[in-house]
Amino acid sequence: MASSPLSLKLPPDLAETAKLRAKQLKYPSVNAYLKGLIRYDALVQGEHNITLPIAALPGSEQDVMDAKLLQNTKNGVGERGQFLTKLLGKLKDKRDGPKNGSSESA
């Protein structure tokens, strides 16, 4: 089968996660795993309500997410939308800082 070359660079934690998941799922290689993800996405045609906001985060905040995902992968723990939505909210709150005009009463 002919292939079109495509270059892909991944942050270290995300690359390690891909290697671990490929092995856990018994894919013959990371390349086969990535092809499987693309095929699955094309089959499902679902929204990317969790991963698209992650892609919009600054690189340092994406690194925080990637480190958490790697830790979960090493521990065999999956997360669903609620957890990821909360984590994204925390990262957004941290980035935005205190709300303007907010004050705490003593």
Average pLDDT along the chain, 106 residues, taken 10 residues at a time: 88 97 97 96 92 92 93 86 70 70 44
User: Quick check: is 30 in a domain?
Assistant: yes
- Confidence (pTM): 0.74
pLDDT digits (tens, 9 = 90+) for 7-20: 999 999 999 999 99
pLDDT value of position 97 = 73
9 to 6, 12, 13, 52, 82: CA distances (angstroms):
10, 9, 12, 18, 28
Domain count, the chain: 1
User: Quick check: is 71 in a domain?
Assistant: yes
User: Quick check: is 84 in a domain?
Assistant: yes
CA 40 to chain centre: 16
Provide the domain limits for residue 50: 12-95
